[in-house]
Amino acid sequence: MPRGSGGDYQLPTGNPVVSDTLIEASWANTTLDDLANAMTDSLSRSGKGGMTAAFKIADGTKSAPGLSFTAEASSGLYRNSAGEVVMSVLGVDHMRWNAGVTQIWNGAVWTSIISEAPSDDNYYSRINDGWAVDPQIELNRLGIIANTDAIGVNETNILSNLALINTNITNIGINAAAIATGTYTNIDALDVRVTQNESDLSLVSAAVLANADAISTGAYTNPETLDDRATALEGQTGSAWELDALQASGDYVGANTVFTASGNIDAGACVVKGVGATTVAQGRSNADGLERVFCINTGSTQLASGQDRSMILNGYVRLDTWSFFVGAILWLDANGQPTDVEPTGSELYKVRIGYAIRSNIIYFNPQVSKPEQNPT
Give one DSSP letter per residue of 163-212, joined into a string.
HHHHHHHHHHHHHHHHHHHT----HHHHHHHHHHHHHHHHHHHHHHHHHH
What gap in Å lies between CA 212 and CA 235, rounded to an integer?
Answer: 30
DSSP string, 70-109: SS-TTSEEEEEETTEEEEEETTEEEEEEETTEEEEE-SSS
| Per-residue confidence in pLDDT tens, the chain, 376 aa | 567 777 777 777 777 788 888 888 877 888 888 888 878 777 777 777 777 788 788 899 999 998 999 899 999 999 998 989 999 999 999 999 988 788 888 888 888 775 555 555 555 555 545 556 667 777 787 788 888 888 888 888 888 888 888 888 888 888 777 777 776 555 555 565 556 556 555 554 555 555 555 555 555 444 344 444 444 444 443 344 343 567 888 888 888 888 888 888 888 888 887 666 778 888 876 654 456 676 888 777 888 888 888 888 888 888 888 999 888 899 888 888 898 888 777 656 778 888 888 888 888 888 755 566 666 5
User: What's the pLDDT score for residue 375?
Assistant: 62
What gap in Å lies between CA 161 and CA 263, rounded to an integer?
Answer: 63
User: What's the pLDDT score for residue 323?
Assistant: 92
**Total-model pTM:** 0.36
User: What's the pLDDT score for residue 63?
Assistant: 92
What gap in Å lies between CA 228 and CA 221, rounded to an integer?
Answer: 9
The reply to whether omega before 16 is within 30° of 0 (cis) is: yes
Helix (H) or strand (E) run with residue 113 in it: strand 110-114
User: What's the pLDDT score for residue 370?
Assistant: 59
In sequence order, which residues have a C-beta less than 8 Å from that of residue 49 and are 6 or more positions away?
A: 43
What gap in Å lies between CA 276 and CA 179, rounded to an integer?
Answer: 79
What gap in Å lies between CA 224 and CA 233, rounded to an integer?
Answer: 12
User: What's the pLDDT score for residue 44?
Assistant: 72
User: What's the pLDDT score for residue 79?
Assistant: 92
Q: Domain segments of the chain: what residues?
A: 1-53, 67-133, 142-231, 246-373
DSSP secondary structure code for residue 60 in this structure: B
Helix (H) or strand (E) run with residue 155 in it: helix 135-181
What gap in Å lies between CA 141 and CA 136, rounded to an integer?
Answer: 9
DSSP secondary structure code for residue 279 in this structure: S
User: What's the pLDDT score for residue 221?
Assistant: 45
User: What's the pLDDT score for residue 368?
Assistant: 58
Say if residue 21 is exposed, middle or buried (CB neighbours under 10 Å; 0-12, 13-18, 19+).
exposed
User: What's the pLDDT score for residue 230?
Assistant: 44
User: What's the pLDDT score for residue 372?
Assistant: 63
Give the three-state DSSP class for 296. Answer: strand
CB atoms within 10 A of CB 62: 13
Residue type, 237: T
